Structure formats: structure tokens, C-alpha cells
Amino acid sequence: MIKVGIVGGTGYTGVELLRVLANHPSAKVEVITSRSEEGVLVADMYPNLRGHLDIGFTVPDIETLAACDVVFFATPHGVAMSMAPELIDRGVRVIDLGADFRIKDIPLWEKWYNHTHTCPELVEKAVYGLPEVNREAIRTAQLIGCAGCYPTAVQLGYLPLLEKGWVDHRRLIADCKSGVSGAGRGASVGALLCETSESMKAYGVPGHRHLPEIRQGLARAANKPVGLTFVPHLTPMIRGIHATLYSVLKDPVDSGLQELFEARYANEPFVDVMPAGSHPETRSVKGSNVCRISVHRPQNDDTVVVLSVIDNLVKGASGQAVQIMNIMFDRPENEGLTQVALMP
């Protein structure tokens, strides 16, 4: 059994980790932390876990966490970097769902996150947690910086085109929509029902923290810096990300887009390339670790439109983190992750 610790068990990604791990045959959650809910039984706070988990929240403590094989950080940025060095020194493997170890350029990270990085040496060693790109490095990694939610949907949608150099890497446009759970469980006016339902808005147009992360991943795929406009929107749904990704074909006679995507993801257990002409829906991945993708070339013109949908809390966070744990601990990659989406 893989002994699991979770720091930040009361948040949305924390409880989603618990839901996924509740059905995992090779992992057992031994420690789950919360500073605000110390002593409370997990199943009293989250009744969906009644009968699955009979432990309570404890405050984060290195000694207790060091007894685990792997510790997930489902915490805001800045928390994982404060505890990861000691855990790693003690042989624990660390999977951060937050942003502390995603961006290799430390001054760039500090600029976007407005925070001083306290362990840049670990960033160098950390592996970016997107299995479709980094599977081999993940296998032996001690520290993972999991890909963010928008970055997962956007990168999976653009990778086949950029890796093959089929589109103009300087003119990429990612028009993305997210459910409100992407903002976390902390109380904020912007996340209230009356503020978010029956309305929709863009945000972060001048710049969003995911922009440098997405650019870093796409540049790696293209093997050169890319030009990207990224516009996120808040939509009146709880879960889901829908990314509409535009790019321009370099050679308009290129055909075979569908075959390109099918070949790229043929062996990926969690990327579903839908039949030509499809329009994936966010509800078709709700609660599942799947990214569904379709590729279009409207009117046979030179613009390619890729549609990519994920559940922000599963493939965009906790499901992907468990997929990564499975790879690190030599388990079947889909172990505990075979949930089918809830429809309707």
C-alpha cells in the first residue's frame, strides 16, 4: 500500500483527492491536514466520504507527514515550497497541485505570483506534472509540480500541432471557460451564486498567472518561444474547463489533422480524440480524468480550431495528481481513475 498524506484536505482539490483515492486499491490516506478544521472527522465535513475514510483532520506537521510515501499539497502557492525541502530530505515524494514548482524561470514565477521563491534549487529538480509530455521523467521524480487546470486543457489541445510544426507558433489564441470551483473553496464575493449564475465574463485579459506556464509548455513542444493570447472566462457551472484553441496552418494544403491527433494520443489512457466534426461537452468529462478533444478546420480555410474539455478538479488537478502517483509508484496508470463522467 502506498501511504498517502494530503496537506490542504478541506479545499476542493483536497476533497477531490479523497474521492478519487477512496476507490484506489493500492493507496491509503494516512494523514489529512487542515489548520481550520483540526480534530474534525473528514466524513463529518464531507458526508460523501462516510464509510470510506475514518480519519480526522490534523494540523500540518513534518514528523507525521514524513511517515508517508507520498505527500500531495492541495494548498495555495507558497505552502508546498515551505515544507517540501524537509520532506524530500527524508525520502518522501512530493506532488504539488499548486504552482510552486511549475515554472522553471524563477524571476518570472516571482513576478506573476508576487512571492519570493524560497527553494529555487528544488524547482530545477522538479518535474512538470503532465504525463502526456513527461511520463518517463515522472517515473523517477522526487518532486512534481502538477500542471494547472487551464494549462492542462490548452497544452493537450495544442501539442500535436506544435510538435509537428504545422501551425504558426507566433499566433496562438486560447479562449477558455472555467467553472467556479476553479477559484477554490475560500469565500469570495466573486464566487457567490448571485454573482456567477446566469452571467458570464472574461477576466485576466491583460495577463493571467497561467500565461507563463502555458507559454513554457508550448515553447517546449514547438522547440521555440511561442506567441499566445490567453483569455479565461468564468462561466455559471461548478466544474469544467472548455478551451477553444485557434491557430493558423503554415501550409494550407496540409490535411490529416484528425489522423495527426489520433496518432499523437493513440496510447494515452486519458486523452480521447473524438470523431471528426465532434463538439465535446464539459459534462462529458465531469468527475472523470479524461480530456476530450476534437479538431476542426472550418470551411477548409487555414484556421485550425481545437476544442479541449476537462474537469478542472480531476484531469485539471486531483485526478492528474493520482495518475502521476500511479506512474511514480509503478502502478497501472489508470488505477483508481476509471470513473465514467456524470451525464446529465
Ligand X SMILES: NC(=O)C1=CN([C@@H]2O[C@H](COP(=O)(O)OP(=O)(O)OC[C@H]3O[C@@H](n4cnc5c(N)ncnc54)[C@H](OP(=O)(O)O)[C@@H]3O)[C@@H](O)[C@H]2O)C=CC1
Task: Please give the positions annotated as active site.
Answer: 149
Rounded to the nearest whole angstrom, what is the least distance from the CB of residue 127 to ligand X2W in the complex? 16
| Edge-to-edge order in the sheet of strand 27-33 | 27-33, 2-7, 70-73, 93-96, 143-146, 127-129
Residue 234 site contact among ligand X, ligand X2W, none (CB < 5 to 8 Å, cut-off depends on kind): ligand X2W
According to DSSP, the residues that pair with 230 across neighbouring strands are 174
End-to-end CA distance of the chain: 35
Closest approach of ligand X2W to the CB of residue 149, in Å: 4
Q: Are 244 and 175 in contact (CB under 8 A)?
A: yes
Find where cell 506532488 sits: 95
- The verdict on 62 binding ligand X (CB under 6 A) reads no
Checking phi first, is residue 76 left (phi over 0); if not, alpha (psi -120 to 50) or beta?
beta
Min dist CB 160 to ligand X, Å, is 23
Residue 240 near ligand X2W by CB under 6 A = no
Which of 75, 155, 178, 216 is in the footprint of ligand X2W by CB under 6 A? 178
Distance CA 247, CA 267 (A): 25
Which residues in the 89-108 window bind ligand X2W by CB under 6 A? Answer: 98-99
* Contacting residue, 27, 49, 88, 149, with ligand X by CB under 6 A: 149
- Our CB check for ligand X shows the closer of 8 and 232 to be 8
317 three-state secondary structure: helix
Per-residue CA distances from 285 to 80, 89, 340 (Å): 28, 38, 8
Q: Considering the rule CB under 6 A, would residue 55 count as an interface residue with ligand X?
A: no
Of 222 and 291, which has the nearer Cβ to ligand X? 291
What cell does 311 get?
474537469
List the x/- string, 283-312, binding to ligand X by CB under 6 A.
-----------------------------x
Task: Tell me how far, at minimum, the Cβ of 130 lies from ligand X, in Å.
Answer: 12
CA dist 148 → 125, 211, 315 (Å): 18, 11, 10
Residues 259-318 that bind ligand X2W (CB under 6 A): none
Using the minimum distance from each CB to ligand X2W, give the nearer residue, 177 or 331: 177
Q: Does 145 bind ligand X (CB under 6 A)?
A: no
For residues 128, 129, 134, 136, the Cα torsion angle rounded to the nearest 10 degrees is 110
Minimum CB distance to ligand X2W, residue 197 (Å) = 14
SS3 of 243, please?
Answer: strand
Residues that bind ligand X2W (CB under 6 A): 98-99, 148-149, 178, 182-183, 210, 232, 234
Residues that bind ligand X (CB under 6 A): 7-14, 34-37, 60, 74-77, 79, 97-99, 148-149, 181-182, 184-186, 312-313, 316-317
